[in-house]
Amino acid sequence: MKIKHTPQDFRVRELLADGYVGDRGRHRVYRVTKKKLTSFEAARALADMAGVPPAEVGLAGLKDRQGVTTQYMSVEGGRPVRWSAPDLKIEPVGFAHEGLSSSHSVGNHFEVTLRHVTPSLRQRIETGLAEVREHGFVNYFGEQRFGNLRFGQGWVARRLALGEREQALKELLCGRSDVDDARHREFKQMLAARWGNWRACRDIAGKYGAHHSVFEELGKDPEDFAAALRRVAARLRLIHLYAWQSHVWNRAVSAYVASITPARERLFVEGIEGPLAFARGALAADPAMENGFRLPGEGLEDVAHPVQREFLAAELARQGLEPEQFRIEGVSGFQLKGEDRDLIVRPRRLKLFDYRDDAGRITLRFELPRGAYATLLVARLTGFFAVEPTRTGPLTAAGERDDRAPRAERGERAERAPRPKRDTRETRDARGKRPPRAGRDERGPRRPPAASRPRAPQPRSPATKQRGNKPKKGARR
């Protein structure tokens, strides 16, 4: 079986709260449909066209790079941008009184097409559909959350919690993977071979246009890895922080689900970061949990339920940490913050559609609340994950999804905007000129270009000699 065989096989449409988009407001709201682009890349393109810095674009969440996704973005006082290209479409849909944020999202609508489905797998999916409609499924974090494992970087945040700062930095920058493209593979190999020679590493980073300032800091103080880590792009730091926090949650919840579910009612799905336990029927969770399992903050201090704390502490012990060590000190951008997370999620409008001309192809349509993963539902129904890996690398951490980081941080350098493939008079009028090319940034992400405002025409000096205006012979000057 294959999922995401083509971008059209995985479609996502963001669902906003009723009443957010209206006819009036200081913020213009846009509908953005993208393919093979990250949400940050699409937001950067919108910012270029709207004539604002990328940090001024509001988002409710980040969508998967692998697929055709539709989401909304807002810009205060934004232009009525319209753009249509094969990989990106932008259109204004109304106004809002406040900038778009995660609080305005109620979830996502999905259309997931599965190919090469055998008759036995089809039967398993149909059985699972009935079970999930009635009882829901465990709300684990999906494999998109763990790009750090695909790229061989390990658990960087865990290294930092253990005080292993140099090893954390080395794994972040030099960790190797089978899915690395040629450029990233060469970059990692060269850095690893010269690790400790910070001048040589700085020159390599400069050549590749990534993380140059990390090694500038180590050139000043070869032992100050905290200062070097602060030079890693803020979004990349958050990706690694959230990945480890989510991993601890997944492992603790899986152990809890397995402990309260009889063997005959229990099934496991092997994930990238370990097996995940599911219950075929209703999960016999403690009613006092009220269908929640705390995503823990520092030191597990915010985990009130004793059973949840017990399973989280057991997982930390398995990783060589005491509960009070579940914190990262001295390195900015790695602060663990807890939040409530549903234990069981119930998809809405879950349906299966057949294709008469292709017996091995089916499409699943459903809606999930914000923060729930469609690939987890597919894994629960089929018994395995079938996401094809993306060949890229960690220099920009492209393609990572994070519903808890809906806005680019102010001052953070955004990724390079995708070069639009088609220009029209309408779009030129909307933004004044074509988006400028972005500059290279030392730290990995791209430097945002100047706002795309049309320049005022410059008056020519009357004494300037212009081609085609040569005075005729005998004419008075």
Quick: pLDDT tens for 233-286: 988 999 999 999 999 999 999 999 999 999 999 999 999 999 999 999 999 999
- 13 in any annotated domain: yes
Please check whether residue 140 is in contact with residue 284, taking contact to mean a CB–CB distance below 8 angstroms.
no
Is the pLDDT reported for residue 417 higher than 70?
no
- 419 in any annotated domain: yes
Nearest in space to 31 (alpha carbons), one of 88, 78, 73, 77: 73
What is the Cα–Cα distance from 434 to 453, expressed in whole angstroms? 10
pLDDT band at residue 386 using 50, 70 and 90 as cut-offs: low
Mean pLDDT, all residues of the chain? 84
pTM score, two decimals? Answer: 0.80
Mean pLDDT, residues 354-366: 92
Mean pLDDT, residues 122-136: 96
Mean pLDDT, residues 432-445: 37
- 74 in any annotated domain: yes
- 83 in any annotated domain: yes
pLDDT, greater one: 68 or 426: 68
pLDDT band at residue 3 using 50, 70 and 90 as cut-offs: confident
| Bridge-based pairing state of the strands 362-368 and 348-354 | antiparallel
Label residues 407-446 b or e (16+ Cβ within 10 Å = b).
Answer: bbeeebbbbbbbebeeeeeebeebbeeebeebeebbbbbb
- 421 in any annotated domain: yes
Q: Is 250 left (phi over 0), alpha (psi -120 to 50) or beta?
A: alpha
Span 37-88, pLDDT tens digits: 999 999 999 999 999 999 999 999 989 888 999 999 999 999 999 999 999 9
Where in the sequence is the domain holding 41, given as residue range(s)?
2-101+406-431
- 67 in any annotated domain: yes
- 164 in any annotated domain: no
pLDDT band at residue 433 using 50, 70 and 90 as cut-offs: very low
Mean pLDDT, residues 132-140: 97
- 79 in any annotated domain: yes
Q: Which residues participate in catalysis according to the annotation? A: 64
pLDDT, greater one: 222 or 397: 222
Domain count, the chain: 1
The confidence score (pLDDT) of residue 473 equals 47
Q: Looking at residue 90, which CATH number applies to its domain? A: 3.30.70.3160
Mean pLDDT, residues 315-325: 98
